[in-house]
Structure 1
Amino acid sequence: MVICVAAPSFAASPRDGQLRGVRADGFYGHDRRLLHTACLLVDGREPEPIGLQPLGPDRVRFSSVHRYAGARTDDPTVIIERVRTAGEGETVLLRNVGVTTRRLRVELALATDLADIAAVKRGDPQTAIRCTVVQDATGLEWRTDTARSEVRATGDGALPEVTDGPEGGTFAWPRMLLRPGESRRIGLTVAGGAVPAPPGHPEAPRSAAPWTEPVVQGDRRLVELVRHGLGDLRALRLADPDRTDPEDQFIAAGCPWYLTLFGRDSIWSARMMLPLGTDLARGTLWALARRQGTAHDVFREEAPGRILHELRPADAEHGHGLRLPSRYYGSVDATPLFVSLLVDAWHWGLPDAETDALLPYAERAMDWVVETSNDDDDGFLRYYPRAGGLRHQSWKDSEDAVRDAAGRRIEPPLALCEVQGYAYEAATGLAGLLSSRGRVEASERLRTWAASLRKRFADAFWLPSPQGPAARYVAIAVGRGRKPVSGPASNMGQLLSTGILDADGCQDVAAWLAASELNSGWGLRSRSAALGGYNPMSYHGGSVWTHDTAIAIHGLCTAGCHTEAYALTDGLLDAATRFEYRMPELYGGDHRTPGSPAPLAYPAACRPQGWSAASGVALLSALLGLHPDASDRTLRLRPMPAELLGPMSVMGVRLAGATLKIGTTRSGGVKVTGLPAGWEHPTDPPHG
């Protein structure tokens, strides 16, 4: 599929640009398909496609030709350029490049089912909606009790003949005259949405992107990954309508299926983007804080302090018995991640007024984490899903996301390893923030709780592996009675930056991440290739996730394991070249060998996807080893040795309102200019 996106709208089609009402074809807005058929005919025939050209994340141009039987040349004489723009519509330019005057009959067949995005994803057959000609006869309208769509035509010269009917309508220009060298332009505008519009639902932003545009020098693959990723992130921005000055912007999870506010995904995108400013983090935090749980609700899985999992315009049936409300809280990890985003933003220079205003929401979130853990028999942060909700409630949330070494599905309730790391990081980070505000007693309570969690984790999650690259590994999860789930998985890579592992634990995890069981050569496999049930094209059973690999690289760099980090970095950057630097949500994890085929995107992967697009900036931060500390106003750097990836520099890092330039040299030196007043850059690199 070819996708162009300008959140909350997108358009998807095959590579020839024709919308034929199959698969996910169509123009969409706010999770609603506004148009699924827009089929262009010239003299009763579909044009012959010859290529396409992306014009940015939100626009694409499809080129085709129209030939004439019996012509004295095989060269096409009518060229058709179709430019589609997400959230607006499209234009069709017809050019006569021959020497003979042409009289064309041009038609556009239009239809829609006004289907919800969840129904489209399920592949459920939908019924076409009857259309009617609008009052001024320049367009067509489709309407149901819950949605409407309208398509209007413009163009050079005469307006089209418009016909309607139960299966769709047609715009026709029956006698379009094109003399040699002449051209004609047809325009379509596509608009519509839910009826009535859902109150308070995120909308397209009106202000500029809330981050700097960095100038990066170094490895060409990294430079292009950052550049393309930022372009996709601009297209994935949404704004919370509850505040407009300044706008609270955040990143939608991904296109086409998750073009909305997702707690976990939006938080990770904002965390990855912090080196370019704190405004995106601020907007994300406020959008989630306004929707923080306030009551106990079984269907929504809401609880006081809990952070939203996803926000939709309406309740939706997702198939296989999964029914989710429009505001759903079924996520065990979004709540501790919300706390850590505020702490990280504080370290990067979020203004004190914003930090203090958000602090009560973070404390309520931390209360939910602590109370939920204390209610558990084992003292872990565990999830207990309701019937009909998400079965697994961390980032690996598919039905078979958790399997043991033999490939058997393990059912919840489960305490996932990375979730305990998130909880530990949130507690220690919030303790530091509270201490800086003079709240010593509350800070010490959190530190004591975190230390206890760290000990319980060390006692319960390690499994022996005498034949592995290290003598032990971290179990993906622990079931009831502290029974660990066997089989190495990528989840342990997300522990490295949280502080829940000691130095020896970090070394053991690093050894596993670098081993061929998990390192595919294109990135980090979600499940070891040596295990039963491994499938490189599954959702979570062996595929490579872009963001998961980037988080692991950041953790490896933080722990000082630069050789292992480089192995994953080089593979991820090479994969980026195969995807033209628009990284999919996930892709095939087959082992890379000399001359092996390029990795393939998972068939239903979002692309563009928020945390995948932000992974370029996360890599940049990891490779430079950026670690700001607001408590003592220091920016510590521990860059990857230049002999591995070469020297690099970036202009545009934002710290406490100042714009920095940071560079490394081949000899291992680091230079930082532009530090804000009162901040220091220690010359000695920190220990991991």
Structure 2
Amino acid sequence: MFASDGPSGRYLLQPLLHDAAICVSAPAFAVSARDGQLRGAGADGFYDRDRRLLHTLHLAVDEREPEAIGCHPLGPDRMRFTAVHRYPGDPTDDPTVLIERVRGADGTETITVRNDGARDRRLRIDVAAATDLTDIATVKSGRGATPLPAVATPTGLSWSLVGPEGESHSTLTVEPAPGAAATRPNAFGPVTSQPEISDGPEGGTLTWPVLLLRPGARWQVTLRVRGRSSPLPPGQPDAPTLEAPWSVPTVEGDRRLVALVRRGLADLRALRLADPMSRDGDGHEDQFVAAGCPWYLALFGRDSIWAARMLLPLGTGLALGTLRTLARRQGRSHDRFREEAPGRILHELRPGEARHGRGLRLPAHYYGSVDATPLFVTLLVEAWHWGLPTAEVERLLPHAELAMDWVQRSCGQDQDGLLRYRPRPGGLVHQSWKDSTDAVRDALGRHIPPPLALCEVQGYAYQAAVGLAGLVAALGRADRAAELRAWALGLRKSFRDAFWVDAGDADAPASRYVAIAVGRALSPVTGPASNMGQLPDTGILDPADCRDVAAWLCSAELNSGWGLRSRSALVPGFNPLSYHGGSVWTHDTAIAVQGLCAAGRHAEAARLTDGLLDAATHFQYRMPELYGGDERTPDTPGPLDYPAACRPQGWSAAAGVALLGALLGLRPDAAARVLTVRPMPPEFLGPLSATGLRLAGARLDVAVDRTGAVCVDGLPEGWHLRTEGP
């Protein structure tokens, strides 16, 4: 959370978000304190396309701040803030003047002042506004920028900034506009609406000097924040124009899961972006889910892929849009600064170069990810199994082949055949989902630098090769399938030889565990971590391996009681509020549950699921990017916020659907046209049903009753059902 040194040599600090009110409609969002005031501090502001358009919007009534009494979301993209304005001489303690601010992520804010008392009120309203027009990376680093001069306009205020990469502009306009009628009819008497506009070197003010509010009257004004940067790089994702490309199921069962799915899908709708390069005049657009708000409201290969994978039970539309968007930007040449290589899948796409502090400088198109490329292949394979039309599969297959070529070339750089990352100076040091600078530590707490082969990345590569082999075999390419399977077997053997570590303790959950990574000279990075929880679903483990991994995942070392800790609580360097050194990540726990269910380890999966669902109740079912990994005890009221976590976060919002699919035990096989259902036994979390799922374009309804009996309705034509379990 530390950023670069400030001008005085002191640390600059990343803004905290744990108590922020955030509304989002990608690519725009707004962040403020829970009283609704934007004070120009921390991450406060209205944003669009990674640019802060306004950082101050401060309301005063009679030169006093209203007293906040409520903050209520009206959906992912709107927030209502309620406050009161009291008078010391009133004969009653009851507030009579209420102020309501309804804010939209699209840059609109409606202010309503209401007089619910029995006497006339004469009020002065001041709205101070300012901005620095800085980029989100600067805000995240804690650096901020100097407020810009405001210029009064006939309709409000405006700001502009000319920099080396172009120009940025923003405006704040008022409706009714200045110059409109000074009063508006009101059943309880006239209401003055004419503002005075003043500008200055650090911002401006809109002032309504005298508002007469008779009993029962209300005054209302709408402010609109707009802005842009130019030139905007071509191909930058923008807001979608079509509906979300997934179904909305009706879920019945555990009320926590029902609420988690519902809230998650609402947040995912707000996090959608569309690729303008996909619009060809026929009404089509490719949509994907941005990584998270506020820091990562952009295309992130790994995050967008995982969100699409998790939502496959609701249809293949999101997977198709994500795959196409990434395929258009797949690496074509070697570029050291961008870390681009032929076949490599993009890590992140921003409107401009980002300087994060401490020497971290990332280009707008950045490929520094070791896992997005094999995950791209697996997303295509899984979308095929869920019924992505063959024509679409065949159009994307060359991109999957190029991605697999990059994986195999990268593995071929070392004799052991493992997939490693070797970052450039100034890029991301660690290039998997645990990408903070101290993400990889050993059992002594020492930081282990790259080159590194992470355990879950080997699983991703193995799963990609085996999955692609099955796909090309179904398309009649038996020779290529055999090559891929042989290569995957070699990787599996290298993994088994290098990654297992003897626990060295008779009281350990199991006699061995999987190292988080292998460093130079095949030295394993010791110390149990959550990374091994992403292996059971990849197929690289056998049943005995899954048993040992399951034991570790449910141990007190890794299972906090609210979800899976990223690092064992019993090793030096554990910190429950470390980004990757002890915190709980929502998506990480959900992926572990998926793998445990697939491996038939339902008891262990149920324990992790129950903890994650209990945590969801404390976050009002808007699951954050991560949260504290402190031990759950009878006296613990709930999990602790990680103070700078994104919320909403794409793969966290998708975790509810991932759990739903895992607990129902859905496994489609497109080659055999078989849907296997292996549900979690109902004695763990009760009966469960979902209507309105999608398989091969058809509506699918699945129910598991209290006895464990499975009922499936709506199988596509030519498909067959196989049930496993009771």
TM-score normalised by the chain length of structure 1: 0.98
Q: Distance in 2 between matches of 1:115 and 1:606?
A: 19
Q: Distance in 1 between matches of 2:274 and 2:725?
A: 39
Query: What does residue range 201-600 of structure 1 map to in structure 2 within 5 Å?
Result: 201-244=236-279, 245-467=283-505, 468-600=508-640
Q: CA deviation at 1:600?
A: 1.4
Q: CA deviation at 1:352?
A: 1.1
Aligned to 1:139: 156
Aligned to 1:659: 699
SS at match of 2:342: coil
What amino acid is aligned across from residue 119 of structure 1 in structure 2? T
Aligned to 2:135: 116
Aligned to 1:198: 233
Q: Distance in 2 between matches of 1:229 and 1:531?
A: 34
Q: Pick from 84, 87, 90 the counterpart of residue 71 of structure 1.
A: 90
Contact kept, 8 Å, 1:636 with 1:685, in 2: the verdict is no
What amino acid is aligned across from residue 329 of structure 1 in structure 2? Y
Query: What does residue range 98-113 of structure 1 map to in structure 2 within 5 Å?
Result: 98-113=117-132
Q: CA deviation at 1:74?
A: 2.1
Q: Pick from 603, 613, 624 the counterpart of residue 653 of structure 2.
A: 613
What amino acid is aligned across from residue 662 of structure 1 in structure 2? V
Q: CA deviation at 1:126?
A: 1.1
Moved over 6 A (4+): none
Q: Pick from 41, 58, 61 the counterpart of residue 77 of structure 2.
A: 58
Q: CA deviation at 1:158?
A: 3.3
Aligned to 2:5: none
Cα distance per residue 1:2-54 (max 9 Å; x no partner): 10000001100111000010011110100010000000011111111111111
TM-score normalised by the chain length of structure 2: 0.93
Gaps of 5+ in 1: none
Q: CA deviation at 1:165?
A: 1.3
Q: Pick from 219, 226, 244 the counterpart of residue 184 of structure 1.
A: 219
Q: CA deviation at 1:427?
A: 0.3
Aligned to 2:35: 16
SS at match of 2:571: coil
What amino acid is aligned across from residue 37 of structure 1 in structure 2? T
Q: CA deviation at 1:376?
A: 2.0
Q: CA deviation at 1:684?
A: 4.1
Cα distance per residue 1:240-284 (max 9 Å; x no partner): 001133210000000000000000000000000000000000000
Q: Distance in 2 between matches of 1:133 and 1:199?
A: 32
Aligned to 1:171: 206
Gaps of 5+ in 2: 1-19, 177-183, 185-191
Q: Distance in 1 between matches of 2:81 and 2:59?
A: 12
What amino acid is aligned across from residue 607 of structure 1 in structure 2? R
Cα distance per residue 1:349-372 (max 9 Å; x no partner): 011111111110000000000011
Q: Distance in 2 between matches of 1:197 and 1:323?
A: 20
Q: CA deviation at 1:685?
A: 4.9
Q: Distance in 1 between matches of 2:702 and 2:528?
A: 37
What amino acid is aligned across from residue 396 of structure 2 in structure 1? L
Q: Distance in 1 between matches of 2:328 and 2:632?
A: 45
Contact kept, 8 Å, 1:64 with 1:79, in 2: the verdict is yes
Q: Pick from 86, 90, 94 the counterpart of residue 105 of structure 2.
A: 86
Contact kept, 8 Å, 2:630 with 2:640, in 1: the verdict is no
Q: Distance in 2 between matches of 1:259 and 1:684?
A: 41
Cα distance per residue 1:64-119 (max 9 Å; x no partner): 01112322222222111100000132000010111111121111000000011011
Cα RMSD, aligned residues only: 1.0
Would you say 1:151 and 2:133 are equivalent positions?
no
Aligned to 2:180: none
- Of stretches 570-579 and 375-384 in structure 1, the one that deviates more from structure 2 is 375-384
Q: Distance in 1 between matches of 2:270 and 2:368?
A: 27
Aligned positions, number? 684
SS at match of 2:476: coil
Q: CA deviation at 1:296?
A: 0.1
Q: Distance in 1 between matches of 2:655 and 2:698?
A: 23
Q: CA deviation at 1:330?
A: 0.1
What amino acid is aligned across from residue 243 of structure 1 in structure 2? S
Cα distance per residue 1:160-206 (max 9 Å; x no partner): 21111111011111121211111111101111121222221000101
Q: CA deviation at 1:389?
A: 0.1
What amino acid is aligned across from residue 112 of structure 1 in structure 2? T
- Of stretches 80-89 and 267-276 in structure 1, the one that deviates more from structure 2 is 80-89
SS at match of 2:69: strand
Q: CA deviation at 1:316?
A: 1.0
Aligned to 1:640: 680
Q: Distance in 1 between matches of 2:335 and 2:722?
A: 50
Q: Distance in 2 between matches of 1:283 and 1:139?
A: 40
Contact kept, 8 Å, 1:582 with 1:608, in 2: the verdict is yes
Would you say 1:672 and 2:712 are equivalent positions?
yes
Cα distance per residue 1:567-587 (max 9 Å; x no partner): 100000000001110111000
Q: Distance in 1 between matches of 2:559 and 2:140?
A: 31
Q: Distance in 1 between matches of 2:623 and 2:641?
A: 9
What amino acid is aligned across from residue 213 of structure 1 in structure 2? V
SS at match of 2:172: strand
Contact kept, 8 Å, 2:134 with 2:144, in 1: the verdict is no
Q: Distance in 2 between matches of 1:403 and 1:193?
A: 42
Q: What is the identity percentage for the equivalent residue pairs of Structure 1 and Structure 2?
A: 66
Aligned to 2:12: none
What amino acid is aligned across from residue 237 of structure 1 in structure 2? R
Contact kept, 8 Å, 2:30 with 2:107, in 1: the verdict is no
Contact kept, 8 Å, 1:138 with 1:160, in 2: the verdict is no
Contact kept, 8 Å, 1:337 with 1:426, in 2: the verdict is yes
Q: Distance in 2 between matches of 1:605 and 1:75?
A: 38
Cα distance per residue 1:385-413 (max 9 Å; x no partner): 00000000000000000000010000000
Cα distance per residue 1:404-440 (max 9 Å; x no partner): 0010000000000000000000000001110111111
Q: Distance in 2 between matches of 1:637 and 1:320?
A: 50
Q: Distance in 2 between matches of 1:75 and 1:641?
A: 54
What amino acid is aligned across from residue 539 of structure 2 in structure 1? G
Contact kept, 8 Å, 1:138 with 1:159, in 2: the verdict is no
Contact kept, 8 Å, 2:624 with 2:648, in 1: the verdict is yes
